[in-house]
Amino acid sequence: MLYQQHAPEKPKRQSLQQRSRETGFPSPATDHMEERLNLHEHLVRNESATFFCRIRGNAEEELGFYDGDLLIVDRSLAFKHHSVVIAVVDNEQRVCRLWNKGSKWSLQFGDNSFMNLEQNGDAQEMLWGVVSHVVHSCL
């Protein structure tokens, strides 16, 4: 089961001139200050088409996704062979791997079962988005 969240908007940055100024002797370390790491900048390509989904349960462990993993799904990416996708199957969003053999496409589910996709428009409606990144806890 997946729980979906839309990508939060990026906060606007203030330039150094807009930040408050300190008085007195400046710290010598200010020359080496770096911006804070913002994973949103590295993981989200198309903000308006990106969603976050969290894995609930262990049905996708065979595909390498575990309970609590955070999936970053981009609906603007093209579907291709071996992509991990979110597909709507029986009115439920499922994590699947997309396979292509010649002109035939199929979905591989977490239990290693496969479902062939028809060539009509139903296949495009079933495929909801491409998983571009996974945030997985190591604890």
Per residue in 64-99, pLDDT (tens digit) is: 999 999 999 999 999 999 999 999 988 889 999 999
Closest to 103 in 3D by CA, of 83, 123, 85:
123
- Per-residue pLDDT at 133 exceeds 90: yes
For residue 13, give both structure tokens.
């940055």
- Residue 34 pLDDT class (50, 70, 90 cuts): confident
Strand order in the sheet with 84-89: 2-6, 50-55, 70-74, 127-135, 84-89, 92-101, 104-108, 114-117
Q: Residue ranges per domain, the chain?
A: 42-135
Q: Quote the pLDDT of residue 23.
A: 67
Q: Quote the pLDDT of residue 122.
A: 67
Q: What is the pTM of this model?
A: 0.72
Question: Who wins on pLDDT, 135 or 13?
Answer: 135
Per residue in 102-130, pLDDT (tens digit) is: 888 999 998 989 999 876 566 777 899 99
Q: What architecture is domain 42-135?
A: Ribbon (2.10)
Residue 72 to residue 134: CA distance in whole angstroms: 6
Q: Quote the pLDDT of residue 20.
A: 59
Question: Who wins on pLDDT, 70 or 24?
Answer: 70
> Average pLDDT, whole number, for the chain?
83
